[in-house]
């Protein structure tokens, strides 16, 4: 999923386009939005960038609507997600729906969880 960067936040494609359209209607768009070097992301959303804005240490969500951006994870990010899943199973913390979405997207298996649990 493509993502935009605006005012230090990640936005999904729909939210990023909405902000760009609103700012354009208000006359606040740069003269050439495709020339990202000519403006700051604090002034106008930059992007779209593929893969939810790119690899990160945690799953990323749109800072406006909360949609999961389907970004790839670093090794630390994979460990972070595995820790959260194990924490959910052992202590009931976290959202079952959100974790389920991550399990499906990142193709996390029971074997992954068992190996990770033994490594701790």
Residue 38 forms part of a structural domain: yes
Q: Is residue 83 located within the same domain as residue 48?
A: no
Q: What local confidence, expressed as pLDDT, does residue 29 receive? A: 97
Neighbours of 17 (CB within 10 A): 16
Residue 59 forms part of a structural domain: no
Q: What local confidence, expressed as pLDDT, does residue 120 receive? A: 61
Q: Is residue 45 located within the same domain as residue 81?
A: no
| CA angle (58, 63, 66) in 5-degree steps | 80
Percent of the chain past pLDDT 70, that is, above it, reads 98
pLDDT tens digits, residue range 73-108? 999 999 999 999 999 999 999 999 999 999 999 999
- For the segment 25-53, the average pLDDT, to the nearest whole number, is 97
b/e string for 97-116 if b means 16 or more Cβ within 10 A? eebeebbeebebeeebeeeb
Task: Tell me the residue range of the domain where 32 lies.
Answer: 3-53
Q: What local confidence, expressed as pLDDT, does residue 8 receive? A: 97
- For the segment 102-120, the average pLDDT, to the nearest whole number, is 91
Q: Which residues contact 21 (CB under 8 A, 6 or more apart)?
A: none
Q: What local confidence, expressed as pLDDT, does residue 117 receive? A: 83
Q: Total domain count for the chain?
A: 2
Q: What local confidence, expressed as pLDDT, does residue 26 receive? A: 98
Q: Is residue 12 located within the same domain as residue 44?
A: yes
Token pair listed for 86:
């194990």
């Amino acid at each position: 999923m493509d993502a935009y960067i605006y005012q230090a936040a990640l936005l999904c494609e729909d939210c990023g386009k909405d902000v760009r359209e609103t700012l354009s209607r208000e006359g606040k768009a740069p003269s050439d939005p495709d020339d990202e070097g000519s403006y700051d992301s604090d002034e106008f959303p930059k992007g779209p960038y593929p893969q939810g804005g790119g690899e990160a240490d945690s799953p990323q969500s749109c800072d406006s609507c909360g949609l999961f951006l389907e970004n790839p994870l670093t090794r630390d990010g994979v460990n972070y997600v595995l820790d959260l899943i194990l924490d959910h199973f052992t202590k009931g913390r976290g959202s079952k729906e959100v974790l389920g979405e991550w399990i499906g997207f990142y193709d996390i298996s029971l074997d992954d969880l068992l190996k990770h649990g033994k490594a701790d």
